[in-house]
Amino acid sequence: MNRSELVDQIKTKRSFLCVGLDTDLEKIPKHLLEYDDPIFEFNKRIIDATKDYAVAYKPNIAFYESQGPKGWESLRKTLDYIPENIFTIADAKRGDIGNTSAMYAKTFFDHYNFDSITIAPYMGHDSVEPFKKEGKWTIVLALTSNPGANDFQLLKTESGNRVFEEVIEKNRQWSDPDQLMFVVGATRGELIGEVRKAAPDNFFLVPGVGKQGGSLEDVAKLGMIEDCGLLVNSSRGIIYASNQKDFAEKASEKAAAIQAEMSTLLERFNVC
């Protein structure tokens, strides 16, 4: 999916919500465990319940991988079930030497047909390069939402840049903003504005709203640009809103409430 198609979806749905599919057998409603593939059954109902409010889905690959070969089948079925006009993100945080990154790209772009993949930048340009592909996006970790972001990402370097700014600057030299997003945690407060300065025209994938404590309004205030430029993720807050038989209904209500807030913000910041 290209940038203008993504922006069209955002304007049509008046939403920049990404729903994280961190599907965990220990957290889904017990009655689903009777099915052959409880993970897919759960995802299917969550997708049906939220697809009018979400412009992106982000399966967290760790959760599928931990189920062994069966988990990868659940992932494939989930991908096949996501409507064509919704953006898909493989939250995999891969990155390795060139020939290995090429293998990861093949897996997620060719075999599973994801629109994008999250990338850990530590190994530099030749670890990112193989993910550059016509019609696909790389989403590079810049400033993450977790406490450990302070350990290395915020270190100041000789140039005056902090490490996350170096990551942004170099990745922007390597890739077109229409195929390159950055992960920016909603929990980073004022720093979101500094990331926006470093990357004025890239989309941000923003985790950390909800359970992790980030504010949607602050994210929009500091990070929103003319064509929105934001995908804000919520995982647990939506998909585990209830663990009873009404889980899909509750997920739908949560997604609708976030979408309503997003609609107001899109209007307030003149996106649509």
Binding site for a second copy (CB under 8 A): 22, 60, 62-63, 65-66, 68-70, 72-73, 76, 91, 93-101, 103-104, 106-107, 111, 120-128, 141, 144-153, 155-159, 163, 166-167, 170, 207
Q: Indicate which residues carry an active-site annotation.
A: 93
CB of 92 to a second copy, least distance (A): 9
Q: What is the DSSP letter of 265?
A: H
CB of 44 to a second copy, least distance (A): 19
CB of 112 to a second copy, least distance (A): 9
- For a second copy, the closer of residues 121 and 229 by Cβ is 121
Could you give the angle at the alpha carbon of 55 between the alpha carbons of 164 and 208, nearest 5°? 40
Task: State the sign of the Cα–Cα–Cα–Cα dihedral 18, 98, 149, 196.
Answer: negative
Q: Which residues pair with 90 in a beta bridge?
A: 117
List Cβ neighbours of 36 (8 Å cut-off, separation of 6 or more).
none
Q: How many CA atoms lie within 13 A of 147 on its CB side?
A: 0
- Quote the tokens at residue 143: 């400033």
- For a second copy, the closer of residues 30 and 106 by Cβ is 106
CB of 176 to a second copy, least distance (A): 18
The 3-state DSSP class for residue 149 equals helix
- For a second copy, the closer of residues 104 and 204 by Cβ is 104
The 3-state DSSP class for residue 270 equals coil
CB of 52 to a second copy, least distance (A): 28
- Quote the tokens at residue 171: 């990745």
- For a second copy, the closer of residues 69 and 83 by Cβ is 69
- For a second copy, the closer of residues 44 and 170 by Cβ is 170
C-alpha–C-alpha distance, residues 119 and 138, integer Å? 7
List Cβ neighbours of 190 (8 Å cut-off, separation of 6 or more).
222
